[in-house]
A and B are shown apart, each in its own frame.
Chain A
């Protein structure tokens, strides 16, 4: 790698870059949650948001030099796995009864 190239790019990354990346991913997840109408894609947007939060946990764990953030993101992964199992079972049942995946058509609980 040429020397001037390594001078432009710092060898250490600021912590805020990780946090900004996490914020960007979370915002994209919120946008997907709000804009998409396919229930599976909405579910995947939720997973994206959980991943973004995990990145913040791990980044702060590095900053504080403690392992607690890793434990928290581990618990978030466990909850996400449980949520995916139950949520996908609910989606299967809804599809069996309604034969649709559009969230606009699943509105029988609407006032």
Chain B
């Protein structure tokens, strides 16, 4: 059952990611990215990260993607014009990409211990209680630093969105 769920959602994630790169219209790309994020949330659940799966759906698939779709609609971004791209670059780059992925995968498979397996339900330390405890004890200083980061980001967004820039 674990393998079935993994293969299903991994397949959805990869197909949506390929669709993201191939689509010419930004809205189609944004919807594909939502698909990637949703299936990744399911994979986080399989890995025992209930909190991070919820945050993935709420923050990423919810807030960040709505921001993207807002900007696409605001700018009225149309489809990208197809420019005559040199076919040589496509013929070289796509096989190189596949070779790179295969090399990377063989490296990963040879380096990870074969006994390492993921079984749903064996690790339940990713709940809200455990994450919150680690966040407010061990990682308190980085957590406070992120609040400064978000403040700076808000200020930057406000300054950039003024009229006279």
A-side residues, CB < 8 A to B, are 1, 6, 9-21, 23-25, 27-29, 31-32, 35-38, 40-41, 43-45, 47-48, 51, 54-55, 58-59, 61-63, 65-68, 70-71, 73-75, 77-86, 88-93, 95-97, 101-102
Q: In the bound complex, do residue B68 and residue A88 qualify as a contact, i.e. CB atoms below 8 Å apart?
A: yes
Q: Which one of B49, B75, B156 contacts A95 once the chains associate, using CB atoms below 8 Å?
A: B75
Interface of chain B, helix or strand or loop or mixed? Answer: helix
Q: In the bound complex, do residue B160 and residue A61 qualify as a contact, i.e. CB atoms below 8 Å apart?
A: no
Q: Does B112 lie at the interface of the complex (its beta carbon under 8 Å from any beta carbon of A)?
A: yes
Q: Which one of B126, B153, B165 contacts A82 once the chains associate, using CB atoms below 8 Å?
A: B153
Closest A residue, CB atoms, query B147 = A78
What's the Cα separation between A51 and B74 when bound, in Å?
25
Q: Which one of A15, A55, A70, A91 contacts B131 once the chains associate, using CB atoms below 8 Å?
A: A70
What's the Cα separation between A75 and B116 when bound, in Å?
26
B11 to chain A, nearest CB (A): 10
Q: In the bound complex, do residue B10 and residue A40 qualify as a contact, i.e. CB atoms below 8 Å apart?
A: no
B-side residues, CB < 8 A to A, are 1-4, 6-7, 10, 13-14, 17-18, 20-21, 26, 29-30, 33, 36-37, 40, 43-44, 46-49, 51-52, 55-56, 59-60, 63-64, 67-68, 71-72, 74-75, 77, 80, 83, 93, 97, 100-101, 104-105, 108-109, 112, 114, 116-119, 123, 125-126, 130-131, 134-135, 138-139, 142, 146, 149-150, 152-154, 156-157, 160-161, 165
Q: Which one of A25, A54, A82, A83 contacts B14 once the chains associate, using CB atoms below 8 Å?
A: A25
Q: Provided the pairs A31-B97, A65-B123 are in contact, do residues A25 and B146 lie with their beta carbons within 8 angstroms?
A: no
Q: In the bound complex, do residue B75 and residue A101 qualify as a contact, i.e. CB atoms below 8 Å apart?
A: yes
User: Chain B contacts of A14 at CB under 8 A?
Assistant: 112, 114, 116-118
B160 to chain A, nearest CB (A): 4
A78 to chain B, nearest CB (A): 5
6 A-B pairs in the complex with CB atoms less than 8 angstroms apart: A28-B20, A32-B21, A48-B36, A68-B134, A84-B67, A101-B77
